[in-house]
Amino acid sequence: MLRIWGALLAALLLAGVVSAQVKQTDDLLPALEALAPVNASLTLSPDGTRAAWAAPGGLCLYDLDAEAGECHAFPDRFADSFGEYNPLRWSPDSTAIAFTEDPFRLLNESDVWVYKLASGEFTNLTDDGLEGGWLQSKTENAGFALDYALTWNPVNGDLYYFHSEPLADGWTLDLYRTTPGSYEAEQIGSYDVGLPTLSVYFPPQISPDGTRLAVIVLGQKLDDLRNGVWMIDLKDGGAEIIANLPNLRRSGFPEWQDQQYTMPRELAWVDNHTLLVNLLNSAFSTGVSWGTQITDLTTGTITPLVDMSGVAEQSDLFQAGDDGHSPMYAMPRSVLIAADGASVLFTHYDPYGQDQPGLSRLPLPPAGTPVLLAETPDCRVTNLRGMPRFLQRIAPNGRVLLHNCLLTVEGG
């Protein structure tokens, strides 16, 4: 069953299974909005001490311990716009933030920029001397290139990015690395022959041991079996698909659901062998809207974090039961990974109570029924404009951002 809270929950609580609790919930919007408008670019530093977001005209930082912040104007040559394809990317030591112009939603010619907190300086690492829309650049300017899809190596702080240049019949697709301090670019691999044209745009993620990069590949033709999640070996640049789109859509979703609108959106590593893949059904009324798949890289298996395949038909999704929730409530919307990777917290979704979702805990790998912790958070989570992040790791100090809510978790 999808909704088994009642007596089973009480039994689990008595048995001491629940080790995590939300110690504090703070609505950050009032403090942050006092500095500048806040949107879905809001992100927490890996050490859990600062929040950053891209406001119109500048990069804003807020010190959560000092309860103070300031905004820094972007350089004049930076095209100021952020979305799900060019989020802010914190360095693993929380001392720098990397970002690009928006190359896919607004079609801006994009470079790799880095802001260093200590010096307050912005640096363009891949300046080709061009700016503006890249469609115009492609036809009128020679030598331009797109740099995008950034990620930091958590082990040594190297910064990786994808690089594309126009060809007569398509685009190149190369992976580059820059090293701390020098930022001289080094090519890791070339993939325009093996992957669809301009098929990489969601941010990739590097494994905790720093050896592999996981990336979502989505070409223009959705029946292309190269679509899915790929893995790149950072030592030799070799790439292979580890989960194609049909298999990602198959696990944990009802058989009756039309999956043409269900796409992978975000990746997160749990450990060096386990990858979470968030999927979103953009046609929300047609079926299960969110799903999180667990990909075991050792066995190659794909299993759902919460199995929604038992919903008999579409109309059942929206029928509230005796507990006041519809089966949609069991669907994980935002997933928060414990700092040690042993469990996750996830928010529920319900069309009858979207502003106050429940928060549950599951061990990894999933076992038994999710344990409902509370009807948290106490602050609204729908006030941020744009697409929020769905997969995040709880910082070592217990903090994590749930949209505009700062949660402090004990015993995750």
Helix (H) or strand (E) holding 138: helix 134-140
Whether the CB-CB separation of 157 and 116 falls below 8 Å is answered with no
285 burial class (0-12, 13-18, 19+ CB within 10 angstroms)? exposed
CB distance 292 to 278 below 8 Å? yes
Q: What are phi and psi of 181, to 5 degrees?
A: 90, -65
In angstroms, the first-to-last Cα distance of the chain is 25
Phi-psi region of 398 (alpha: psi -120 to 50; beta: other; left: phi over 0): left
Percent helix, strand, coil in the chain (nearest 5)?
A: 10, 35, 55
The confidence score (pLDDT) of residue 22 equals 83
- Tell me: pLDDT of 14 over 90: no
pLDDT of 104 above 90: no
Structure tokens, 346: 């996830």
Side chain identity, residue 386: G
Q: Is the dihedral of CA 270, 275, 276, 280 positive or negative?
A: positive
Q: What is the DSSP letter of 367?
A: -
Q: Which of 94, 232, 99 is nearest to 175 (CA)?
A: 232
302-304 and 335-337 beta bridge pairing = unpaired
DSSP letter string, 11-74? HHHHTT----EEEEEEE-HHHHHTTS--BTT-EE-TTSSEEEEEETTEEEEEETTTTEEEEEEP
> pLDDT averaged over the chain?
87
- Edge to edge, the sheet with strand 359-363 lists 371-374, 359-363, 343-347, 335-337, 391-393
Specify the pLDDT at position 9: 31
- Judged by average pLDDT, the poorest of 129-143, 151-165, 201-215 is 129-143
Residue whose entry in the numeric block shows the structure tokens 């820059």: 178
Contact present, 43 and 90 (Cβ < 8 Å): yes
Mean pLDDT of 220-227: 92
Q: pLDDT per residue over 234-265, tens digit each?
A: 999 999 999 999 999 999 999 999 888 899 99
How far from chain centre, in Å, is Cα 173?
22
Q: Give the integer Cα–Cα distance in Å for 300 and 242.
A: 7
Structure tokens at 143: 């030598």
Is the pLDDT assigned to residue 62 strictly greater than 90?
yes
Q: What are the pLDDT digits (tens) for 158-181?
A: 999 999 998 888 899 999 999 877
Q: What is the pTM of this model?
A: 0.91
Kindly report which listed range (2-16, 48-62, 103-117, 373-387) carries the lowest average pLDDT score.
Answer: 2-16
**Structure tokens belonging to residue 176:** 């580059």
Please provide the size of the chain in residues. Answer: 412
What structural domains and CATH numbers belong to the chain? Answer: 1-40+247-412 (no CATH), 41-82+85-201 (2.120.10.60)
